[in-house]
Amino acid sequence: MPVWQSVPLWGLLRSLGLISTCVPRRIETALGPLLGRLALSVAQKRRDTARENIDRCLPELSEAERESLLRRNCEHWGMIALEFLHMFSPVPGHFKRYIASNTVMHGFENWRKAHAKGKGTIIVGCHAGNWEVASGAGCLAGMPFTIVTRTLTPAWLMRTIEKARLQTGLRALYQPRTVPGILKALRAGEAVGFVIDQYAGPPMGVKARFFGYSVDTLAAVGPLALRTGAAVVPTHNYRDATGVFHVYLEPELDFGEAAADAPRTTQILASMVETQIRENSGQWTWGHRRFKNVDFSDRVI
């Protein structure tokens, strides 16, 4: 991004971040859906991608139900936009306080039980609800947590987001060279988080059925758990009508006889994520180009 564009954007985000610091959550939950509905009317490309994905994945819904889901999903993204602005607040410690006051943890004892084995834990989820808020909430509850993610540009944007994450203790490893850091964290008995709902082509991905389609899916979790002995703990979160995030940590996942078979463990995880999305379909990233290089004539229910 050219400097002449980057500097005004930095100033705008900092200003909006300061404003967000002063806005009560109840006002934010009223404004977010309005912002999302406005985006629905102007962001045509993203809207079309979301609608195509909804149509392909949920053909059992009526036309009216799919239109309603698209609208609710856009309202969710209006909320996401306002929530992310809190990461740009210039007020020290604000993002940490924001997470602490707007989240409720469920099932944290499941992580404690898995953590007690001493081999580290692999936290697996998807881009539903607000993953930044959920990750920070896990750290604030006492989980030493590192996420595996991608770098962003420009550099000042990445630094600002990193500083916001670190307010809660959340650390990040950036693709593609993440394996040494992952192994180090797991050997130290820490938690490492993966989201597996985005496109991941070879060699990192293998084909797995997702909403009936064969799609390239991140295959690292099963082999990593087998190599290290780390426990795999599923997670999901959603925002309720009052704006409170409910973050769930499920019991440790047992792959059984599939543990040594990467395609089978990947399919187990892909099916798990699909179930999570179906249970709260309005808060997933339908606008993401998840279905790249897919034969849409080959759908299996």
Domain boundaries, the chain: 3-283
Identify the pLDDT of residue 53.
96
Number of Cα atoms under 13 Å in the Cβ half of residue 118: 0
pTM for the whole thing? 0.94
Beta-bridged to residue 205, according to DSSP, are: 218
Q: Could you give the C-alpha distances from 240 to 8, 124, 130, 215, 280, in angstroms and in order?
A: 34, 21, 12, 30, 11
What confidence category does residue 234 fall into, taking pLDDT thresholds of 50, 70 and 90? very high
Strands 231-239 and 245-249: antiparallel
- Mean pLDDT computed over 109-123: 98
Query: Coil, helix or strand for 55?
Result: helix
- Mean pLDDT computed over 72-99: 97
What confidence category does residue 3 fall into, taking pLDDT thresholds of 50, 70 and 90? low
Both structure tokens of 286: 């339908």
Q: pLDDT tens for residues 175-232?
A: 888 999 999 999 999 999 999 999 998 888 999 999 999 999 999 999 999 999 999 9
Identify the pLDDT of residue 153.
86
Identify the pLDDT of residue 5.
65
Q: Which of 12-16, 129-133, 295-299 shows the lowest mean pLDDT across its residues?
A: 295-299
User: Average model confidence (pLDDT) for the chain?
Assistant: 94
Phi, then psi, of 107 in degrees rounded to 5 = 80, 20
